[in-house]
A and B are shown apart, each in its own frame.
Chain A
Amino acid sequence: MKQERGLSRRLRRERRRVALRSTLVQAVWNYDSLQGIGFGWAILPGLARIRPDRGERAERLLANLGTFNANPYLASIAMGVALRLEEEIARGAAGAERRLARLLHALRGSLGAIGDDLFWSAGRPALGLAAVAAALATGSVWPAIVYVIAWNALAQGVRLAGVRAGFAAGAAVVRVLQDPFWAKAARTARAAGIFAAGAGLGMGAGLAVLGGGGLAGGAVFVAIVGFLWLAGTQIGARGPSLSPALAFLAVAALLSAIFHLSQGALP
């Protein structure tokens, strides 16, 4: 905390600007430097505080425009770390430049793994399932609105807090990554998501049986669920599998045909 005094105090004011800029970390995403350009641009306000001289600033900016990639919401942690170490470099700390390069390289994998698990593998499917179940139940636009608000409260909140956490931890960022919060949040999201998935199944079965289909409707629903499960709705599942879009297309076509034939309207 002592190191947070002096220049760090002025840098703290720039954290919000860095967090705000981190929303564009993927703006120039490409197959060569990945998020590199967005990363360098995001930390520029902090660099301007650390390096008032334009020439020196351009030199350090160039060093931070190299290849970088992480989960976009957690990239802000690396930005905080980079600023903290840039400050040490400016103070002339021995080996700080090498330490920064090594840390950023190491953070790529860790931030990608933790962030992808929390946001892409657990959080988004869970919130999406809850919104789908609520939308199918109510037919209202509110589930979509709540979905966007809830997602951004979590994701943009992590972005904002990430710069602060990375800056406070500096080279000791591993303790931020080892925080049980990440695993706990992903576990909670998965449990909630499974509950919502169950709600979807229960609702579908109820609609099929009680919505006029009777036992035949129930049998059709079970057949649809079985087909979708066997078709393989998981990308990367072992063995050949239909893409979710094709599996859903098959179900829509099948249901359309059943509906069509039951109306007795053959072409």
Chain B
Amino acid sequence: MTEWQAASLVALGAVVFLDQWPAVQSMISRPIVVGPAVGSILGAPADGVLWGAAFESMLLAIQPVGAARYPDAALAGLLGTAAAIMGMESGIYPAAWAVAVAAGAGWAGEVVGRLQRRRNARTAAAVLSRVSAGSLGAPARGIATALARGAALGALQTAAGLAVVIAGTRLLAGSPWAGPLDAHGLRIAAAAMAGVAGARVLGLGRKRVVSLVLGAAAGLALVFLGVSG
């Protein structure tokens, strides 16, 4: 990995951290988008698409509803895809390693997200006290502070994660148990994960079973026609 690539991934980490919940929520932080972005940066866009789809299906069932604590899907997608592509460059196709990295990154990112929310409480208290004193610009300054801190945390956690991924990939490079699952196998696993996660998250009633069967027929037809073969 070149310095430029590492810097681009760290910058991407900052952007997707903010998009995930503090700003806009345009969903550019979802693995299905982050995967191709990481792939493009690392010079393997097609692999990025595949891994992005795999991680999206893995994290599909997680919803930021109520007071739920949920894994950091952006960091999971970013570091998982990076681990997969860097592993492939090392001559292996490390499916289990990449998924393990994504699972660990999701958990670690959630901890960092909680830290940011705790720090935000101090920022909010400072804003309230300044507005009480008559300052109208305090909320804007508080928001700028929180966003800057979020971007820094996003960049920092990505940089730390990349260091772990690089070290882990070097360790695994010589191990025959590191992978090796090819793209074909991964597509099958990701398709199964997407189907099951979708059916469970969206629910299966009588009418929806018909939709599911019709969809399955369409999926089979795609393979027959060679579109996805």
Contact = CB atoms under 8 A, between A and B. Distances in A.
Interface string A117-144: 0001110111011011101111111011
A234 B218 CA distance: 25
A200 B57 contact: yes
A91 B53 CA distance: 54
B32 to A, nearest CB: 5
A56 B222 CA distance: 64
Interface in A214-237: 217, 221, 224-225, 228-229, 232-235, 237
Given A58-B131, A65-B131, A136-B190, A40 B202 contact: no
A37 B126 CA distance: 11
Q: Which of A40, A62, A147, A193 neighbours the largest number of chain B CB atoms within 10 Å of its CB?
A: A193
Interface string A137-164: 1111101100110011001100000000
A259 B185 contact: yes
B32 A204 contact: no
Given A24-B23, A147-B32, A252-B95, A198 B184 contact: no
Contacts of B193: 228, 233, 244, 247-248, 251
A206 B103 contact: no
A194 B63 contact: no
Nearest to B21: A26
A32 B54 CA distance: 36
A210 B187 CA distance: 13
B219 interface: yes
Interface string B24-50: 111110101101100010000110011
Interface residues of A, number: 103
B19 to A, nearest CB: 10
A28 interface: yes
A183 interface: no
A250 to B, nearest CB: 9
Interface in B98-132: 98-100, 102-103, 106, 117-118, 120-121, 123-125, 127-128, 131-132
A251 to B, nearest CB: 5
A124 B135 CA distance: 39
Contacts of A260: 176-177, 179-180
B179 to A, nearest CB: 6
B189 A255 contact: yes
B22 to A, nearest CB: 5
A243 B103 CA distance: 9
* Interface SS, B side: helix
B198 A244 contact: no
B143 A137 contact: no
B136 A144 contact: no
Nearest to B200: A234
Interface in B174-195: 175-177, 179-182, 184-195
Interface in B185-221: 185-204, 207-208, 211-221
A141 B47 CA distance: 10
B200 A233 contact: yes
A201 B193 CA distance: 8
Contacts of A24: 22-24, 143, 147
Contacts of B203: 190
Interface stretch (B4-12, B64-72, B155-163): B64-72
Contact of A256 (B96, B106, B187): B96
A32 B127 CA distance: 13
Nearest to B51: A135
B59 interface: yes
A116 B27 CA distance: 15
Given A126-B202, A131-B56, 6 more contacts: A24-B147, A29-B120, A58-B135, A197-B202, A225-B192, A225-B196
18 contacts: A23-B23, A24-B24, A26-B21, A30-B120, A61-B139, A116-B65, A116-B66, A128-B30, A135-B50, A148-B26, A195-B218, A197-B195, A200-B191, A204-B191, A204-B192, A234-B201, A245-B103, A251-B189
Interface of A: 23-24, 26-33, 36-38, 40-41, 44, 54-55, 57-58, 61-62, 65, 72-73, 112, 116, 120-122, 124-126, 128-129, 131-133, 135-141, 143-144, 147-148, 151-152, 155-156, 190-191, 193-208, 210-212, 217, 221, 224-225, 228-229, 232-235, 237, 243-249, 251-253, 255-256, 259-260, 263, 265-267
**Across the A-B interface, the 8 shortest Cβ-Cβ residue pairs:** A198-B215, A202-B219, A197-B198, A206-B223, A204-B191, A201-B195, A202-B216, A203-B219
